[in-house]
Amino acid sequence: MRFFVLTKKKLLAFGCCVLVGALAVMIGFQGAGAILQTVASPRKSPIYSVQREDKVVSLTFDTAWGNGQTEDILNILEQYEVKSTFFVTGEWVQEYPEMVKAMSGQGHDVCNYSDTHPHMPQVGKEQQLAEITGCNEKIKEITGLSPILFRAPYGDYDNSVVEAANDLGMYCIQWNIDSYDWQDPSPENMKNRLLSQLKPGSIILLHNGAEATIQTLPAAIAAIQGEGYQVVPVSQLLLSGSYLVDHEGRQVPQP
């Protein structure tokens, strides 16, 4: 009878062979991308919507170019007694300070959309922080308030962008309903699109420079309110206390 003595060195070599073999099988069945995904850092997500039991939603307006429709939007919001959230760039704040005062004076959130509207993942962490702080300073100079909400231009973000906002004590905000107002849909189609996706805690994306927004907004707000919803700024939509962001980007209470 023969006996085999397994030393630590032999056991380590055997274990390495087993691991390499297992990886080879997994790559063969799933591809290398699946293996890399298991060891990559978890993706950090902005808040796309909020888990709410009550029927509250938010209208948000990305505000970076031009001012032709903004006053009309403010008038419509005032007519329907609605408060919303405007994400403005620092450059826009500099160009239209009186409009920023009007937004804030009417009780709307005036929030951070970066300073110069870059693709944030394409700049380094230092520049990301500079983009956010630069816009914050311009907004505070006019409104006296420091924004707590940040939205990445183009909706383009990565872990570093979310971390930059969080490092500054801010929430990174996306949306779960896109109006596609920039595609100039008919008012009826745009309104129906919004209503078909509406649920408690929804965050709706609109733009201040889209003609379709002006044409659709009155009927859309009336329909949303007709469904029993209250429209509030994002700052009032968010949960207070400890929270998590689930795999769908929904802010939920921490268990």
Rounded-to-integer distance, Cα 63 and Cα 218, Å: 19
Classify residue 111 as exposed, middle or buried by CB count within 10 Å of its CB (0-12, 13-18, 19+): buried
| Buried/exposed 50-61: b ≥16 CB within 10 Å, e otherwise | bebeebbbbbbb
Q: Give the list of residues 6+ apart from residue 118 with CB closer than 8 angstroms, or none.
A: 127, 131, 153
Q: Which residues are catalytic?
A: 62, 207
Rounded-to-integer distance, Cα 42 and Cα 44, Å: 6
Rounded-to-integer distance, Cα 103 and Cα 80, Å: 15
Structure tokens at 9: 């060195």
Structure tokens at 130: 């500079």
Please give the torsion angle defined by the CA atoms of residues 219, 174, 199 and 226, in that order, rounded to the nearest 10 degrees. -20
